[in-house]
Chain A
Amino acid sequence: MASNRAAPAPTAVLANVLAKPEATKRRPFRGSFWWYLIRRLLQALFVVLLVTLIVFTLMHLAMPAGPGAGILGLGATQEQIDAFNHAHGFDLPIWQQYFNYVTQILQGDFGDSFKQNMTVGQAIALRLPKTILLAALCMVIALAIALPMGMFQATRRGRLADYALTGVNFVIYSTPSFFMGLLLIVVFAQKLQLLPATAPAGVPTVAYLLANPRYLVLPVITGSLGTLATFSRYMRSATIDNLSEDYVRTARAKGTSKSRVVVRHVVRNSLTPVIAMLGYYLPVMFGGMLVVEQLFNYPGMGLLFWRSAQQADYPVLLGCVLIIALATVIGSLLADIVQALLDPRTRGQLQ
């Protein structure tokens, strides 16, 4: 073991210290699952802090004089606005405002909407379940098709089927989802008149949408296509990487059939990096929902965000961003933990 450490570069020492397992007889704590978990948790905490800092900065870019003017409306006098800002601490030094902001978030308080007579938390809580329903359906359907498709392509690498599917993937990936959705509307809603092009009027509940799934069909197809293209690509390259691993050659040399190697070994090993991507994919997913909800007038968080952007309702906008960012940090944390549990090799490679 000692011979491995011959003359490391001075600059490389720092980076390599954490990656090098100590050769002791006892199972080392470094490189163990708990060591990984603690470091990963601390990282996530730091990222959350950075996220709040960025959102807080954006808040001051959007509302340099505090939210008083926006909340009180156009009729308010400057004295009233100043009094409001003073009463709510928006005239304090900036670091104190940031401290208050973080404290408020910890208490689940995201501020008040400028335009709707409710708190940001209430406005989001009203819409978020419908977006989660839509996003979850899109994700499940996309993955159910993308993962087998990527595997299939990898096993047929370089043949006609692989090329054809890759070509389709390219086109799907390159098509803006609203263009795709529009084509679907023209075909299924306008020409064939099979499916509705918009969500029902008013503010339907999750239960209503589940009872009337025809309103969900076109939005779900539109929202899942991009994800499908992305994840079949990941799955294809993950499977190709795994097919060239030593364990595949060993299993083949021992006489295991090719299909059995794929089903028993390669699937599991290829799935773990793809699953780990899910957490990081959350912001992209929400971005996709934003477009789909606006196109189909689907009453989720995306539409709330879009309307708030038109009205410059900054507290709602920043509340949405913060919630998605926090969900992403937690999601990628969970995905990494699952991956570390499933695949011990990844524990050392903490980014």
Chain B
Amino acid sequence: MTTSTPAPELAPRLSTASPATRAWRRFRSNKLAMIGTTIVILLILFCFAGPLVWVTDQVTVSIDLAIINKPWGTPGHPLGTNNLGYDILGRLMKAGQTSLIIGLLAGLLATLIGTCWGAIAGYIGGPVDAIMMRVVDAGIALPATFLLLILSAIMHPSIPLMIVVIGLVSWLVPARLIRAEAITIKTRDYVLALRAVGGSHTRAVARHIIPNTIGTMIVNATFQVADAILLVAYISFLGMGVEPPATDWGAMLTKGIDYTYAGYWWLIFPPGLLIVITVCAFNFIGDGLRDMFDVKGRQS
């Protein structure tokens, strides 16, 4: 930080703001990303703080005809109740917790595994890289939904299991993207300099390769969260989701399908719309972040 070389004429527009501040400014100027972020914050508040305000019993099953299958607008049940007497509004909050927790953590896990795998493969190169990437090819060839269904048939699906399993089937695309970046980063001068002064390979990967892929990581993680939330819904639709009394938006929607012809739309539309809004919001954020970091995401 020498002050003797300010050279303002060479860098007239150099901002004094920190890189983080500049990144935040660029993110804030992206309308779509800001809308997405706002929606996600509201959704998190709705699902996690909502039950503190709107207290409902989501465990006790009722067979009382005065309570079950009430339409929307029933006093005390603004969105009605389902066939077990659960309040739909309260259930949306509880189901949202499951969808969001699984989506966020599975997306994070997938990105972490993918980043480490891709960075190591790209950095080492040669036959090791070739074998590691063939493993990725094999994983991509296996259909994720089918695998999830088999694994849920073998093991009883719980929230932690769903996170691990969805993470394990979704790390492949991030691995490819990060590997491609690692291959270019490892030839940069700072990595060569580190190796020249005797820095270890581990240090090169952990301190230089991975931190420099942060843009790709963040962008991809956001898209992974969106995809994971959809995947949770699909698994629930196929009847292999989390087990009752736990539920998620996909499971709520699926249970409502039986009542489509009865016209009980309040069982179907609220969870369906929440899935669409949530996945859209994460995709908005991902798109905004991609413009901000100027990286290519969502390729292959």
Q: Is the interface of B mostly helix, strand, loop or mixed?
A: helix
Beta-carbon nearest neighbor of A308 in chain B? B153
Question: Per a CB cutoff under 8 Å, which of A8, A47, A287, A306 touches B138?
Answer: A47
Residues of the A chain whose Cβ atoms lie less than 8 Å from the Cβ of B152: 309
User: With A and B bound together, what is the CA distance between A283 and B279 in angstroms?
Assistant: 21
Q: Is B50 an interface residue (CB 8 A)?
A: no
User: With A and B bound together, what is the CA distance between A320 and B110 in angstroms?
Assistant: 25
Knowing A61-B154, A182-B272 are in contact, say whether A176-B250 is a contact too (CB < 8 A): yes
Question: Per a CB cutoff under 8 Å, which of A11, A43, A295 touches B195?
Answer: A11
Knowing A179-B275, A185-B260 are in contact, say whether A286-B125 is a contact too (CB < 8 A): no
Stretch at the interface among B41-49, B82-90, B234-242: B234-242
The digit string for B190-202, where 1 denotes a CB below 8 A from any CB of A, is: 0110010000010
**A10 and B195 form a contact (CB under 8 A):** yes
In the assembled complex, how far is the CB of residue A330 from the closest CB belonging to chain B, in whole angstroms? 10
User: With A and B bound together, what is the CA distance between A8 and B125 in angstroms?
Assistant: 14
Residues of the B chain whose Cβ atoms lie less than 8 Å from the Cβ of A305: 146, 149
Chain A contacts with B in 120-179, Cβ cutoff 8 A: 170-171, 173-176, 178-179
Residues of the A chain whose Cβ atoms lie less than 8 Å from the Cβ of B276: 171, 174-176, 179
**A182 and B260 form a contact (CB under 8 A):** yes
The digit string for A185-211, where 1 denotes a CB below 8 A from any CB of B, is: 110001000000000000000000000
Stretch at the interface among A50-58, A79-87, A100-108, A242-250: A50-58
**A325 and B141 form a contact (CB under 8 A):** yes
**A50 and B272 form a contact (CB under 8 A):** no
**A174 and B145 form a contact (CB under 8 A):** no
Question: Per a CB cutoff under 8 Å, which of B124, B129, B237, B298 touches A291?
Answer: B237
Total interface residues on A, using CB and 8 Å?
Answer: 58
**A176 and B147 form a contact (CB under 8 A):** no
User: With A and B bound together, what is the CA distance between A326 and B147 in angstroms?
Assistant: 15
The digit string for A2-16, where 1 denotes a CB below 8 A from any CB of B, is: 000000111110110
In the assembled complex, how far is the CB of residue A221 from the closest CB belonging to chain B, in whole angstroms? 17
Knowing A174-B276, A176-B233 are in contact, say whether A182-B257 is a contact too (CB < 8 A): yes
In the assembled complex, how far is the CB of residue A184 from the closest CB belonging to chain B, in whole angstroms? 11
User: With A and B bound together, what is the CA distance between A324 and B142 in angstroms?
Assistant: 7
In the assembled complex, how far is the CB of residue B33 from the closest CB belonging to chain A, in whole angstroms? 13
Q: Is A62 an interface residue (CB 8 A)?
A: yes
Stretch at the interface among A212-220, A252-260, A310-318, A338-346: A310-318
**B150 and A318 form a contact (CB under 8 A):** yes
Chain B contacts with A in 127-155, Cβ cutoff 8 A: 129-130, 133-135, 137-147, 149-150, 152-154
Q: Is B186 an interface residue (CB 8 A)?
A: yes
**B141 and A182 form a contact (CB under 8 A):** no
Beta-carbon nearest neighbor of B230 in chain A? A176
Residues of the A chain whose Cβ atoms lie less than 8 Å from the Cβ of B237: 176, 178, 291, 294-295
Residues of the A chain whose Cβ atoms lie less than 8 Å from the Cβ of B233: 176, 178
Residues of the B chain whose Cβ atoms lie less than 8 Å from the Cβ of A286: 143, 146
In the assembled complex, how far is the CB of residue B233 from the closest CB belonging to chain A, in whole angstroms? 5
Residues of the A chain whose Cβ atoms lie less than 8 Å from the Cβ of B124: 11
In the assembled complex, how far is the CB of residue B224 from the closest CB belonging to chain A, in whole angstroms? 14
Chain A contacts with B in 8-30, Cβ cutoff 8 A: 8-12, 14-15
Beta-carbon nearest neighbor of A53 in chain B? B138
Residues of the A chain whose Cβ atoms lie less than 8 Å from the Cβ of B147: 58, 321
Residues of the B chain whose Cβ atoms lie less than 8 Å from the Cβ of A329: 137, 141
Q: Is A99 an interface residue (CB 8 A)?
A: no
**A47 and B239 form a contact (CB under 8 A):** no
User: With A and B bound together, what is the CA distance between A286 and B149 in angstroms?
Assistant: 13
Q: Is A46 an interface residue (CB 8 A)?
A: yes
User: With A and B bound together, what is the CA distance between A182 and B252 in angstroms?
Assistant: 14
Knowing A47-B138, A325-B142 are in contact, say whether A309-B149 is a contact too (CB < 8 A): yes
**B138 and A51 form a contact (CB under 8 A):** yes
Residues of the B chain whose Cβ atoms lie less than 8 Å from the Cβ of A283: 140-144, 146
Question: Per a CB cutoff under 8 Å, which of B140, B142, B186 touches A12?
Answer: B186
User: With A and B bound together, what is the CA distance between A321 and B129 in angstroms?
Assistant: 26
Residues of the B chain whose Cβ atoms lie less than 8 Å from the Cβ of A61: 154
**A15 and B126 form a contact (CB under 8 A):** yes
**A58 and B260 form a contact (CB under 8 A):** no
Beta-carbon nearest neighbor of B226 in chain A? A174
Chain B interfacial positions (CB closer than 8 Å to A) = 123-126, 129-130, 133-135, 137-147, 149-150, 152-154, 176, 183, 186-187, 191-192, 195, 201, 226, 230, 233-234, 237-240, 250, 253-254, 257, 260-261, 268, 272, 275-276, 279-280, 283-284, 298-300
Q: Please, could you name 24 A-B residue pairs with CB atoms under 8 Å apart, sorted by A?
A: A11-B124, A43-B130, A51-B141, A62-B154, A170-B284, A173-B283, A175-B276, A176-B230, A176-B250, A178-B254, A182-B268, A287-B234, A290-B149, A295-B237, A309-B153, A310-B239, A314-B150, A317-B149, A320-B146, A324-B143, A324-B146, A328-B143, A329-B137, A332-B137
Chain A interfacial positions (CB closer than 8 Å to B) = 8-12, 14-15, 43, 46-47, 50-51, 54-55, 58, 61-62, 170-171, 173-176, 178-179, 182, 185-186, 190, 233, 237, 277, 280, 283-284, 286-287, 290-291, 294-295, 305-306, 309-310, 312, 314, 317-318, 320-321, 324-326, 328-329, 332, 351
